[in-house]
Structures are given as C-alpha cells and as structure tokens.
Amino acid sequence: MFKVKESVLIKTDREIQAIRESGQILSRLHGELSKRVESGVKTLELDAFAEAFILAEGAKPSFKGYRDFPATLCISVNSVVVHGIPNHYILKDGDIISIDCGVYYNGFHADSAFTYKVGNINPEIQKLMNETYASLYKGIAKCKAGNRVGDISAEIQRYAESHGYGIVRELVGHGVGKNLHEAPEVPNFGKPGKGPKLVDGMVIAIEPMVTMGKRTVRQEKDGWTIRTADGQPAAHYEHTVAIVDGKPEALTTFEYITETQKVVYNG
Ligand code: MG
Ligand code: MG
C-alpha cells in the first residue's frame, strides 16, 4: 500500500500465531463478503457488514481511521485499482470489485484483498483476474529464506507482463505486524537477487495490482481512490505471508470464498 522506510522486524512464533489468528478472522470475513457481492448491493452495505463482523469477533478494522481513511474496506470497482472508498454506488452485472481489508486482533494486523465478480463478466476481464491471482501465488512461491524481495517482485512482474498486462509501480506490498505497513517494501516489479534478504520470521503482504491496459494510474481528488489512467479494469489479490522453516506460509486464505467466486490456479 504505502511506502515504508524502517528496518525489517522479525517476528517470534507467538507473534506469527497472533497474525495467523487475525488472518483467520479476515479470511472468514472475505468468505462472508464473497456471498454478498451481487448486483443491486451498495458498496457501503458491504462496508457496514464488514465492520460489524470484525467488531463481533472482538477485533478492529485496520483501515478505518488509518491516515483518516473513513471505512473498514477499500472497495475498488472496475477501473479503480485500490483504495476506493465505499459509497452509494450500486453494483451491477459485469462489474468487478476488489475488496481490500485489514484486521487488527491481539495486537497484530493481517491484510488481504480479493477481486470479486458481479454476475456475468467479460471473459477477458475474467482472464485478467485469473492471471493476477496466479501472479500472487507465483510471488508467494519465491518467498523463501535465502531469496531476496526482488525475487518475489521480479516473478510477479515477469508473469503479469508475459500476459500483456501492466504492473502498477506506485503502490507496493509491505511488511505486516504490530503496524499495518512495515518494512520491507515488496514491489510487484524488480530484479531477481536484489533487495532485502528473506529470513525466517519475516511477515509480508504480497499484493500484485495488475492492469488490463497501461500501468499508469492517477489519484482522485478524494486523496484515496487510485484509478487506471486509461479507464481499463484492474485486479488486486493479496495475502499476508510468513516465512516459517524457510518456506512461505500464507496467514490469510481464500478457502472460505464461495465456489462461484473462486479462482482456480493449478500452478
Ligand atoms: Mg497491503
Ligand atoms: Mg491490503
């Protein structure tokens, strides 16, 4: 999301467990949202549901009040890439909506995003979603001790660009922990072998933002909404991932997402 500049914090097993628990609440929330994304629903209604769900779990929304962001969810429709503010827009058949959410529980955040479809969507847009989703898992596979952040970045970029898509440069993945955004930055573009070394105990949000057209984005006057400059659609998938025993472990999951919204990836 935002750029961060401090040193990387290594988490203990107990801290990773706390993030895993935040991640479970968040993942179950995405499961509930996946059943509620449909034609005729206002994005504000989804936001109200999410806030009530998180509070009922004894947790807090990470985004609400963060730098004065007014809502629990970032809801980004069609050409909005990220940071869309829930409003009175009514979802209609053929839309895609990226829902990004953070949950704060037991002193630790988790952060996860998923792009949902509304009714029947254009097959080309479905392909954008499938390949963006695949690029997330390609990136996660590189999240191993001994690799560097650039190995994740380069893999996501290589994969998305091989399908002719754009990779947004202005926003990046990030460390996650006691703070929503920590070091290191995890760009979705870069060079293998560059950047901070990945070690056990690191927890990072990996979050490719992929555009169907050009990668250029602009920010709207509300100070939040990031939209593609050419008005083409964009997709965004995100997991919070820990390095445990040298290997990646996603602390958020899409397993609760309803079948009709699931993206199949056999990578
Ligand atoms: Mg994030
Ligand atoms: Mg996020």
User: What pLDDT, in 10s, does the model give residues 125-169?
Assistant: 999 999 999 999 999 999 999 999 999 999 999 999 999 999 999
Residue 5 has pLDDT above 60, yes or no: no
The more confident residue out of 149 and 4 is 149
CB 111 within 8 A of CB 181: no
112 alpha carbon – ligand 2 mean position (Å): 5
Asked whether the predicted pLDDT for residue 3 surpasses 60, the reply is no
13 burial type by CB count under 10 A (0-12 exposed, 13-18 middle, 19+ buried): exposed
Taking the CA of 205 as reference, the closest ligand is 1
Q: How far apart are the CA of 173 and the centre of ligand 1, in A?
A: 6
- Residues 170, 207 contacting (CB under 8 angstroms): no
Closest ligand, as measured to the CA of 241: 1
Q: How confident is the model at residue 265, as a pLDDT?
A: 86
Question: How much is the pTM?
Answer: 0.97
Q: What is the mean pLDDT of residues 212-235?
A: 98
Task: Give 228's contacts (C-beta < 8 A, 6+ positions apart).
Answer: 79, 81, 211, 213, 214, 216, 217, 234
Ligand 2 centroid, distance to 194 Cα (angstroms): 24
Predicted confidence band of residue 4 (pLDDT cuts 50, 70, 90): low
Count, residues in the chain? 267
Measured distance CA(141)–CA(250) in Å, rounded: 10
- Helix/strand/coil (H/E/C) assignment for every residue in 157-191: HHHHHHCCCEECCCCCEEECCCCCCEEEEECCCCC
- How far, in Å, is the centroid of ligand 1 from the Cα of 105? 16
Under the banding of pLDDT at 50, 70 and 90, the label for residue 102 is very high
What is the second-level CATH architecture of the domain 13-258?
A: Alpha-Beta Complex (3.90)
What is residue 6's predicted lDDT score, i.e. its pLDDT? 72
Residue whose token pair is 């920010």 = 219
CA of 51 to the centre of ligand 1 (A): 18
CA distances from 215 to 4, 55, 79, 209 (A): 22, 36, 11, 9
CA of 102 to the centre of ligand 2 (A): 6
Distance CA 174, CA 171 (A): 10
Inform me whether the pLDDT recorded for 1 exceeds 80: no
CA of 29 to the centre of ligand 2 (A): 14
Centroid of ligand 1 to alpha carbon of 60 (angstroms): 16
Residue 9 reports pLDDT greater than 70 = yes
Distance (Å) from CA 1 to ligand 2 centroid: 7
* Domain residue ranges of the chain, discontinuous segments joined by +: 13-258
Q: How many angstroms is it from 188 CA to the middle of ligand 2?
A: 14
Distance 67 CA to ligand 2 centre (A): 14
> Average pLDDT over the chain, rounded to whole?
97
